[in-house]
């Protein structure tokens, strides 16, 4: 049986100073996913990315943390897609989303960047918006606040981390569903709000 090849990308900024920031929700989600699969990460200079190679049944899955910084994420993603000839329907990008409240995740088969510079970079590098993306809500301080750099580069509070833990648990289930059951079922079953602690 031919092995299907998938690529799952978590977006974020490299470096310890960014490790627990809201903008690194994609990195953090992939760390959780990789741990659940006992993945072993290595730095691949060719792709300027940390990559883990996992085999699950008849599927080979590459996990990717671009090390280019957020605004150049497309460089890493496109180089892996082109090198391995990965079909776009087998690509999933996980990112933070300031327009979604913390506690909400939303998987979509395609769409615009919503002003997210990592997604913009991937769209430009691939020349298309036709790839799945899983957005993890991080909220924003106020609707009127257009410049949110300090907020997204700030660390999750202790209360937010409790909610994030539940979000990550749900995101891991959704990614597994996307991988084994297809995107429609994954969206229907897991998109939405997690039950948050009081």
Structural domain total, the chain: 1
Containing domain of residue 102, as a range?
A: 4-193
Query: CATH code at 166?
Result: 3.40.50.1470
Residue 94 domain flag: yes
- pTM value surpassing 0.85: yes
Residue 104 domain flag: yes
Q: From CA 132, how far away is CA 177, in angstroms rounded?
A: 13
pLDDT digits (tens, 9 = 90+) for 139-190: 876 554 555 677 888 899 999 999 999 999 999 999 999 999 999 999 999 9
**Among the options 23, 65, 85, 117, which is catalytic?**
23
Do the beta carbons of residue 10 and residue 96 sit within 8 Å?
A: no
Q: Which two tokens stand for residue 164?
A: 């994030």
- 23 in active site: yes
Residue 198 lies in a domain: no
């Amino acid at each position: 049986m031919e092995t299907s090849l998938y690529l799952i990308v978590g977006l974020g900024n490299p470096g310890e100073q960014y490790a627990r920031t809201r903008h690194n929700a994609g990195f953090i989600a992939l760390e959780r996913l990789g741990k659940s699969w006992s993945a072993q990460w290595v730095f691949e200079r060719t792709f300027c990315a940390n990559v883990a190679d996992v085999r699950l049944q008849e599927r080979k899955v590459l996990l990717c943390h671009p090390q280019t910084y957020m605004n150049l994420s497309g460089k890493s993603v496109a180089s892996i897609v082109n090198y391995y000839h990965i079909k776009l329907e087998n690509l999933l990008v996980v990112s933070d989303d300031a327009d979604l409240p913390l506690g909400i995740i939303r998987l979509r088969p395609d769409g615009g960047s919503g002003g997210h510079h990592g997604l913009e970079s991937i769209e430009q590098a691939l020349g298309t918006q036709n790839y799945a993306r899983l957005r993890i809500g991080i909220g924003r301080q106020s609707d009127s606040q257009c410049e949110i750099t300090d907020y997204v580069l700030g660390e999750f509070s202790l209360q937010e981390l409790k909610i994030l833990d539940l979000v990550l648990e749900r995101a891991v289930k959704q990614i597994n569903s996307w991988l084994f059951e297809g995107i429609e079922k994954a969206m229907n079953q897991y998109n939405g709000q997690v039950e948050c602690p009081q």
